[in-house]
Amino acid sequence: MPVEIDVTTVYIEDRPYPMDPEQNLLHQCLSAGFNLPYFCWHPALGSVGACRQCAVKQFKDEHDKHGRIVMACMTPASDGTRISIKDSEAAAFRAGIIEGMMLNHPHDCPVCDEGGECHLQDMTVMTGHDYRRYRFEKRTFRNQYLGPFLNHEMNRCIQCYRCVRFYREYAGGADFNSFALRNLVYFGRDKDGVLENEFAGNLVEVCPTGVFTDATLKRHYTRKWDLEFSPSICTQCSLGCNISIGKRYDTLRRVVNRYNGEVNGYFLCDRGRFGYEFVNSERRIRQSRLRTEAIGPDAAKRHLRDLVASNPGVIGIGSPRASLESNFALRALVGPDRFYAGIPSSELELLRLMLDILRSGPAGTPSLREVESSDAVLVLGEDVMNVAPRMALSLRQSVRQQPIEIAKRLHVALWQDHGVREVLQDAKGPFFIATSSATRLDDIATECCRGAPDDVARVGYAIARALHSSSPEPQDLADNQRAFVESVTNAFKMAKRPLVISGASYRNIGIIRAAANVSRVLPGATLSFITPECNSFGLAFLTGTSLEAAIKAKPTAAIVIENDLYRRLPAPEVDSFFSQCAHVVVLDHLENRTTTRAELVLSTATFAEADGTLVNNECRAQRFFGVFPPSETIRQSWQWLGEWENLDRVIADMSGGVPGLSGIAQAAPSAAFRMSGAKVPREPHRWSGRTAVLANITVDEPKPPVDLNSPLSFSMEGNPDQPPAALIPFFWSPGWNSAQATNKFQEEIAGPLRGGDPGVRLIEAGQGEGIPMASRAAESDEDARLSAPNRDRQGADAFNGALFASVPSAFQPRENEWLIIPLFHIFGSDELSRAAPAVAQLFPDPYLALNADDAAKFGAEASVMGRNLPVRVTPGLPQGVAGLPSGLPPLEGIMLPAWSGISRI
Amino acid sequence: MIYNEPSPLEVKVISQRFTLPNSAAIDTYLATDGYLAVKKALGMTPEAIIDEMKASNLRGRGGAGFPTGMKWSFVPRKTDKPRYIICNSDESEPGTCKDRLLMENDPHQLLEGMMIAGWTVGSNKGYVFIRGEYRYLIDIVDRAIAEAYERGFLGKNVFGSGWDFDIYTHTGAGAYECGEESALLESLEGKRGIPRLKPPFPAVVGAWQSPTLLNNCETFSAVPAILRMGGPAYAELGTPKNGGTRLFCISGHVNKPGVYELPLGFNLLRMIDEVCGGMRNGKKLKAVIPGGSSSPVLKAQECDVPMDFDSMAKLKTMAGSGGVVVLDEDTDIVQLAMRTMKFYQHESCGWCIPCREGTTWLKKILDRFHEGDGRSEDIPLIGELARNMLGRTFCALGDAAAMPTIGFIEKFRDEFEAHLLKTQDPQSPELIVL
Ligand SMILES: Cc1cc2nc3c(=O)[nH]c(=O)nc-3n(C[C@H](O)[C@H](O)[C@H](O)COP(=O)(O)O)c2cc1C
Ligand code: SF4
Ligand code: SF4
Ligand code: FES
């Protein structure tokens, strides 16, 4: 969306600069490359004028020699404004502000986890304040226990109010606040306890000093300058947030946000930030093994080759958590006909349908930035916070879009955060949620509508119908559904940028079709599908055959990559599959039930040791790069499976061989890329211990490991200039050691990274290069079959023009049986972060979710699907519907939704 | 109850009922022209009332002295939003104790003033925001409100006009900052008492996002009299552009401290000598804080001056809230500066750094200085820190702390230096002769 902006001229030190009058001077000065210190302003949080650090001198006109001090963050960059940053009075004032902040600051930099990447350190140096005149005692605070993710050291606080603004106002948290007044202002909870908000971890980067630091990093602490970084992609949900991963020695030490203007912006969710520790897990497979014997990598590879040669019917089972390259390598090894997706058909078919819908448009699929700027949102059947957490944070901002018009009308500048919040008060734009139980975004919803998955689909269809008469009409809606439909329709008709969100959580085809219909009859709408895993779409690009089909094929040999099949299908089915399979090869990095069934286990790289491409929920292909040097024993799946010389060769074969993937090479520069002949260093130039790290083994300085797969070096050597956006290992710029250095990498503050945000979109709105929608109509029998619970009642679907035609019938509760739906948990439902100790502390225990009426019937415990589980009252569950947490052992592998009896114990 | 003997020099306009028995009762009020003004107002157009207010030259009694009629004219009337009337009775400025008397002795006068304002700007709801420490006043005002409802003066269809008006009391929680109008609004809305950015001013975007007319308690209390006597007659009582009378709260080293209603422009020395019976114990006058603790001090030789907003501004100080603190020759200015800063440090809301850290540091320096452990570099540092706040903090509390401090240190630098000499060990190598 090109936005036309006026350009005005602002004079800084009497020289003219073109600036955006809609912005404030601080924002524009930073965009123009000036170093102006600040604290309370944050590019995503706007200005509040609390810290007074960004003071500059403003002059009335060119004759005014006196001027007056103003706060740059609170002053619009209007035409003809004349300011001086260098002015001595302004400079002295800024140094005075730092001096004020330092009165009580403990000056504990040497033992502070923030040291070396501290905005307070940077700004102190920038203002030149260096001499302490305060001769009194410092005040001290008591610190709090805030849960497994964050340390709290309140004495370091400079009271900039960023944390509380982020936590409460931006992220919607309620259990954190500022307390007391004068120089005793305290930021924390009313009592010790785990922070409830799923984005609390961002305080690590939001806080300009060391009050909130990463508690997982603390357990294996290393300074930023001593970490080796790689640009990576979070693998813990389908959104593909960009992350920077840092390692030292042989452990991964932490994850921080890697700004991507289109995707995650400045923030991550806590699963993404703290779930990384599975990489260091005890359960890692660090050595290949044949049955129970460890074997060397060459022997392992030989065994694999022999096995494939002697079993011509060998099949490959891919994975939605493995990279495109690894899946492709398996496909290439066994042949496309014998390559299976490794996920059940109920999921795969939905993914394929979503891709078809996106290909044929006309609704485009939005990036998270676009989600954030949507002005009316309908969520159909997704608990966004627990399935795609970072999107929930974007949605929290989207509900501000419509009310923000009020601020515009009153001429309150949009960057003036408290002014805008004052004007908006509690006003929220249209945001509608139709799900089968309560979600963590209900508090910002205009209206919620609860119903069984089929009823969610019917409500979706009814909305499409109300917007356009050619969409089919569901019969006999209940009054509450009708009212909900009317509210959504009215809001959508008024909206400029409406958005429909849906996905595969309930494995319900009707919901996806209904979402497609709504997006198609609504001009200007975008449609966002949430997929279950980090490369679900990538996998669906590669194959259309499901895990059930693999089982049906009764192969004698199977190769499974990065996939625990026991999480995909019920254990008896997986057991019998493995039993009838003479040879099973498993490539994975954590021990699981599937690896125990393997004859040959190949120790495989995690995302931190691998390079590859993932396709996120907006079909953005993004490249990630490993931070660990290549290892003989631990290899990437595609390296075990093939003989490619490097990643680029895999990509070349794949983009030539798989329809729809031709663009992926552009996701990042190839391994041959050099900046002035040099690679991009993974290590900061201050990285220490280069010669000492291995001194206990050898005093020779070893040659840095060679990276054949990327233009990054495992060294501090390389070109120190800014690399292309997809290759930025960490944000650092002279004088800017903290995460705020991001400023220096953007085309404009909070805008795209220089040269464009990373990633290539494989599908743009309506540009179908795959199968046109109409042709899939022929498979309508297949489609109808997919809506599992209602299989028998679902009529054949057919397109009416470009619209889906078959509306599911209303959900009928059964006598003595419940439809059990999956319920998702940000901490617990994801497979890999389960092996991260900090995240593991927050898992729920398995439970049976019932509505209040049912819960009263069964009491504290009940038996379902052969298990006794504690009962948890879950608001919103309709009559006849119950829930089980998804992915929580021992409940993983149960195919939900499914009908089941529940009995009293 | 009144706390001091009235003076014959007083011109009693808003304090006329203070000495009546049962002065707070509605019947007392009705017997003395009560609720006539609002009835008159209900027959007038808002424009006519605003003209009357402008003609009265009434200026806000909360501290800034903003022309009240003009403020009333800023409230947009063509809006579908509710409009609110808020009386600022948070009275916390040291040296100020007049709103208290107005609420204690004549609450109906205040209610009537708020009603007139409500009618003028088309509001249906008023709040009296009373400082939490004034617990007993909340009961008095609540009782007056209840009486007014009983008589049908408040609520639906006020005096048969078809216009509805409700008034509620609301208490602060004991923070000076919550007397600052925008912090007051935050507090009223149930949030932390920190100030808002201005503009937008409360008149346009105030309580709950709606146009809000906010005046001091004394300002509202003057309104009924203005409507009864007419704006020009009220203006006549004072000096040009400084209409009417105000309650001067005179404290300190005088024989008869008290709250006296005097016309604006009344000479300060006459106030001390004729109204307050002269200096206590026959001491000499050293200085006067003319308008509450935020106003820079006047030296004795500056005190032959009419007490109104403009004359004070000419002397680079403020008429402020009418709190006049008279100081005799024995007053320890260092101690006064220390005590003043102690107040502001305690009351800083903690939002912005120059005020939050500046007041803390200044308090500590002044404490130590006063206790006799001062350093020669303290004197310039006090000035520097205060000037670092002036005009550069988020709200005017920072200025309120800086202005008097700068005043003390500039006008009485000699006393600071003498204090240093007196307390420093003459043998100390640190001693630097200033
Ligand atoms: C720190 C601070 C404290 C204040 N406290 C009071 C107060 O207690 N009572 C009051 O009427 N005005 C107080 N004011 C002034 C108000 O902000 C506001 O200007 C006044 O109530 C407006 O009423 P007026 O126009 O009738 O004077 C305070 C201002 C500041 C900056
Ligand atoms: S804790 Fe950090 S973010 Fe919060 S106010 Fe203090 S310094 Fe600012
Ligand atoms: S000047 Fe700043 S810290 Fe002081 S009261 Fe105002 S906003 Fe609060
Ligand atoms: S950054 Fe401008 S006042 Fe804090």
Give the number of the atom of ligand 4 that is nearest the alpha carbon of residue A52.
3
CB A8 within 8 A of CB A79: yes
Torsion, Cα of B139, B140, B142, B147 (10° steps): 140
All domains of chain A, ordered by start, with CATH?
8-102 (3.10.20.740), 119-279 (no CATH), 289-343+539-745 (3.40.50.740), 348-531+771-804 (3.40.228), 818-904 (2.40.40.20)
Per-residue pLDDT of B264-313, as tens digits, reads: 999 999 999 999 999 999 999 999 999 999 999 999 999 999 999 999 99
Helix (H, G, I), strand (E, B) or coil at A590: strand
Report the relative pairing of strands A82-84 and A186-188 from DSSP bridges.
unpaired
Do residues B64 and B205 both lie within one domain? yes
Give the total number of structural domains in chain B.
3
Do residues B204 and B62 both lie within one domain? yes
Distance A572 CA to ligand 2 centre (A): 53
**What pLDDT, on a 0 to 100 scale, did the predictor assign at position A905?**
85
Backbone angles phi, psi at A718, to 5 degrees: 145, -170
A787: which residues sit within 8 A by CB, 6+ positions away?
A454, A508, A509, A510, A794, A808
List Cα–Cα distances, B359 to A38, A185, B335, B349, in angstroms.
Answer: 21, 14, 16, 11
Closest CA to A542 of A673, A638, A457: A638
User: A161 to chain B, minimum CA–CA distance in Å?
Assistant: 8
Looking at all shown ligands, the one closest to residue B319's CA atom is: 1
User: In this complex, do A185 and B358 lie within 8 Å of one another by their Cβ atoms?
Assistant: no
Query: Domain for residue B431, yes or no?
Result: no
End-to-end alpha carbon distance in chain A? 59
Ligand 1: residue of B73, B91, B180 to mutate (most ligand atoms within 8 A of CB) is B180
What is the spatial distance between Cα A310 and Cα A315, in angstroms, rounded to a whole number? 13
CB A850 within 8 A of CB A786: no
Q: Mark which of B328, B363, B394 sits at the end of a domain.
A: B328
Do residues B196 and B122 both lie within one domain? yes
Do residues B94 and B64 both lie within one domain? yes
CATH number where B266 lies:
3.10.20.600
CB A52 within 8 A of CB B392: yes
List Cα–Cα distances, A13 to A10, A20, A81, A195, in angstroms.
Answer: 10, 18, 11, 46
Do residues B135 and B158 both lie within one domain? yes
What is the spatial distance between Cα A179 and Cα A142, in angstroms, rounded to a whole number? 13
Which residues 137-176 of B have a C-beta within 8 angstroms of A? 175
Contacts 24+ apart (CB under 8 A), A648-654: A648/A672, A648/A709, A650/A325, A650/A328, A650/A329, A651/A325, A651/A613, A653/A328, A653/A332, A654/A324, A654/A325, A654/A328
Which residues 368-387 of B have a C-beta within 8 angstroms of A? 368, 377, 381, 384-385
A891 conformational bin, left if phi > 0, alpha if psi -120 to 50, beta if neither: alpha
Does the beta carbon of A457 sit less than 6 angstroms from any atom of ligand 2? no
- Chain A residues touching B357 at Cβ < 8 A: 100-101, 103-104, 183
Asked if B284 is an interface residue toward chain A (Cβ–Cβ < 8 A), one would say no
User: A128 to chain B, minimum CA–CA distance in Å?
Assistant: 17
Question: Helix/strand/coil (H, E, C) string of A812-878?
Answer: CCECCEEEEEEECCCCCCCCHHHHCHHHHCCCCCCCEEECHHHHHHHCCEEEECCEEEEEEECCCCC
Per-residue pLDDT of A639-690, as tens digits, reads: 999 999 999 999 999 999 899 999 999 999 999 999 999 999 999 999 998 8
Do residues B220 and B274 both lie within one domain? no
Residues in chain B: 434
Q: Which residue carries 């954590």 as its tokens?
A: A590
Query: Domain for residue B428, yes or no?
Result: no
- Sign, CA dihedral A150-A154-A158-A159, equals positive
**What pLDDT, on a 0 to 100 scale, did the predictor assign at position B425?**
62
Give the number of the atom of ligand 4 that is nearest the alpha carbon of residue A73.
2
**What pLDDT, on a 0 to 100 scale, did the predictor assign at position A695?**
84
Q: Mark which of B236, B268, B293 sits at the end of a domain.
A: B236
CATH number where B358 lies:
1.20.1440.230
Can you give the residue range of the structural domain that contains B252? 245-328
Contacts 24+ apart (CB under 8 A), A163-168: A163/A187, A163/A203, A163/A206, A163/A207, A163/A211, A163/A212, A165/A42, A165/A45, A165/A48, A165/A417, A166/A42, A166/A45, A166/A199, A166/A202, A166/A203, A166/A206, A167/A195, A167/A197, A167/A199, A167/A200, A167/A203
**What pLDDT, on a 0 to 100 scale, did the predictor assign at position A789?**
30
Q: How far is CA A849 from the centre of its chain?
A: 27
Q: Mark which of B328, B356, B373 sits at the end of a domain.
A: B328
CATH number where B39 lies:
3.40.50.11540
What is the spatial distance between Cα B5 and Cα A199, in angstroms, rounded to a whole number? 64
Does the beta carbon of A71 sit less than 6 angstroms from any atom of ligand 4? yes
* Tokens of residue B389, six digits: 């706040």
Q: Which residue carries 């119903």 as its tokens?
A: A451
Ligand 4: residue of A71, A83, A119 to mutate (most ligand atoms within 8 A of CB) is A71
Query: Domain for residue B136, yes or no?
Result: yes
* Tokens of residue A788, six digits: 């599992």
Query: Domain for residue B382, yes or no?
Result: yes
Distance A802 CA to ligand 1 centre (A): 65
Q: Which of A24, A47, A52, A74 is the mutation pick for testing B, counting most B CBs within 10 A?
A: A52
Do residues B188 and B160 both lie within one domain? yes
Asked if B358 is an interface residue toward chain A (Cβ–Cβ < 8 A), one would say yes
HSE, CB side, 13 Å, CA atoms: give it for residue A671: 16
**What pLDDT, on a 0 to 100 scale, did the predictor assign at position A368?**
98
User: In this complex, do B205 and A410 lie within 8 Å of one another by their Cβ atoms?
Assistant: yes
Do residues B162 and B80 both lie within one domain? yes
Do residues B256 and B399 both lie within one domain? no
- Rounded to 5 degrees, what angle do the CA atoms B161, B167, B169 make? 170
- Chain A residues touching B368 at Cβ < 8 A: 136
Does the beta carbon of A204 sit less than 6 angstroms from any atom of ligand 2? no
Do residues B81 and B184 both lie within one domain? yes
User: In this complex, do B353 and A419 lie within 8 Å of one another by their Cβ atoms?
Assistant: no
| Helices B396-411 & B413-423 angle (0-180, nearest 10) | 70
Residues of chain A with pLDDT under 50: 1-2, 767-801
HSE, CB side, 13 Å, CA atoms: give it for residue B221: 32
User: In this complex, do A416 and B361 lie within 8 Å of one another by their Cβ atoms?
Assistant: no
Do residues B150 and B215 both lie within one domain? yes
Does the beta carbon of A728 sit less than 6 angstroms from any atom of ligand 2? no
What is the spatial distance between Cα B258 and Cα B321, in angstroms, rounded to a whole number? 15
Residues in chain A: 905
* Tokens of residue B246, six digits: 């105000």
Query: Domain for residue B251, yes or no?
Result: yes
**What pLDDT, on a 0 to 100 scale, did the predictor assign at position A798?**
38
Ligand 2: residue of A51, A122, A124, A209 to mutate (most ligand atoms within 8 A of CB) is A209
**What pLDDT, on a 0 to 100 scale, did the predictor assign at position A765?**
66
- Chain A residues touching B347 at Cβ < 8 A: 181-182
Give the number of the atom of ligand 4 that is nearest the alpha carbon of residue A26.
2
List Cα–Cα distances, A396 to A168, A243, A442, A831, B345, in angstroms.
Answer: 11, 22, 11, 27, 38
Give the number of the atom of ligand 3 that is nearest the alpha carbon of residue B350.
3
Distance B63 CA to ligand 4 centre (A): 28
Do residues B108 and B199 both lie within one domain? yes
Residues of chain B with pLDDT under 70: 425-434
Query: Domain for residue B2, yes or no?
Result: no
Q: Which residue carries 């899946």 as its tokens?
A: A327
Minimal Cα distance from B391: which residue of A?
A: A69
